[in-house]
Amino acid sequence: MNDHAPNSWEARAEAHSLYGFTDLPSVRERGTVVITHGEGPYIVDTNGKRYLDANSGLWNMVAGFDHKGLAEAAKAQYDRFPGYHAFFGRMSDQTVALSEKLIEVSPYPRGKVFYTNSGSEANDTMVKMLWFMNRAEDRPQATKILTRWNGYHGVTAISASMTGKPYNSVFGLPLPGFLHLTCPHYWRFGHEGETEAQFTARLAAELEEVIAREGADTIAGFFAEPVMGAGGVIPPSAGYFQAIQPILRKHNIPLIADEVICGFGRTGNVWGSQTYDFVPDAIISSKALTAGYFPMGAVILGPEMTDRLQAAIDPIEEFPHGFTASGHPVGCAVALKAIDVVLNEGLLDMVRAGAPRMETGLREIAKHPNIGELRGIGYMWALEAVQDRATKTPFAGNLSVSERIANTCTDHGLICRPLGQGIVLCPAFTLTDAQMDEMFAKLDAALKQVFADLA
Ligand X SMILES: *Cc1c(COP(=O)(O)O)cnc(C)c1O
Q: Which residues bind ligand X (CB under 6 A)?
A: 118-120, 123, 152-154, 225, 229-230, 258, 260-261, 286-287
151 vs 302 by CB, closer to ligand X: 151
Q: How far is the CB of 340 from ligand X (least distance, A)?
A: 22
What's the distance, CA 264 to chain centroid?
Answer: 11
Do residues 87 and 308 lie in contact, with contact meaning Cβ atoms separated by under 8 Å?
A: no
Residue 365 C-beta: closest distance to ligand X, Å: 24
363: phi then psi, degrees, rounded to nearest 5: -60, -40
Distance CA 374, CA 445 (A): 17
Least distance between ligand X and beta carbon 82 (Å): 22
Q: Which is nearer to ligand X, 111 or 229 (CB)?
A: 229
We find the least distance from the C-beta atom of residue 120 to ligand X, in angstroms, to be: 3
Nearer to ligand X, 55 or 237 (CB): 55
The backbone region for 122, taken as left when phi is positive above 0, alpha when psi lies in -120 to 50, beta otherwise, is alpha
From the CB of 382, what's the least distance to ligand X, in Å? Answer: 14
Pairing of the two strands 144-148 and 178-181? parallel
Q: Which is nearer to ligand X, 292 or 302 (CB)?
A: 292
CB 159 to ligand X: min, Å? 6
CB of 124 to ligand X, least distance (A): 9
Give least dist CB 294 to ligand X, A.
Answer: 12
Q: Which of 367, 381, 85, 356 is nearest to 261 (CA)?
A: 381
Say if residues 430 and 350 touch (Cβ distance below 8 Å): yes
Check: CB of residue 445 under 8 Å from CB of residue 416: no
Smaller CB separation from ligand X, 120 or 306: 120
Closer residue to ligand X in complex, CB, 273/387: 273
Residue 150 amino acid letter: N
Nearer to ligand X, 230 or 386 (CB): 230
Cβ–Cβ under 8 Å, residues 278 and 259: no
**Cβ-contact 355, 379 below 8 angstroms:** yes
Which residue type, as a one-letter code, is found at position 205? Answer: A
Nearer to ligand X, 225 or 373 (CB): 225
Least spacing, CB of residue 261 vs ligand X, in Å: 4
Distances from the Cα of 350 to the Cα of 246, 328, 341, 378, angstroms: 34, 29, 12, 10
Smallest gap from Cβ 354 to ligand X, in A, equals: 21
d(CA 414, CA 395): 23
Residue 10 or 225: the one with the smaller Cβ distance to ligand X is: 225
Considering the complex, what minimum distance in angstroms separates the CB of residue 318 from ligand X?
Answer: 26
Between 41 and 263, CB nearer to ligand X: 263
| Closer residue to ligand X in complex, CB, 70/288 | 288
With b for 16 or more beta-carbon neighbours within 10 A and e for fewer, the 180-202 pattern comes to bbbbbbbebbbeeeeeeeebbeb
Whichever of 327 and 361 has its CB closer to ligand X, that residue is 327
Find the residue with minimal CB distance to ligand X: 119
Min dist. Cβ of residue 225 to ligand X (A): 5
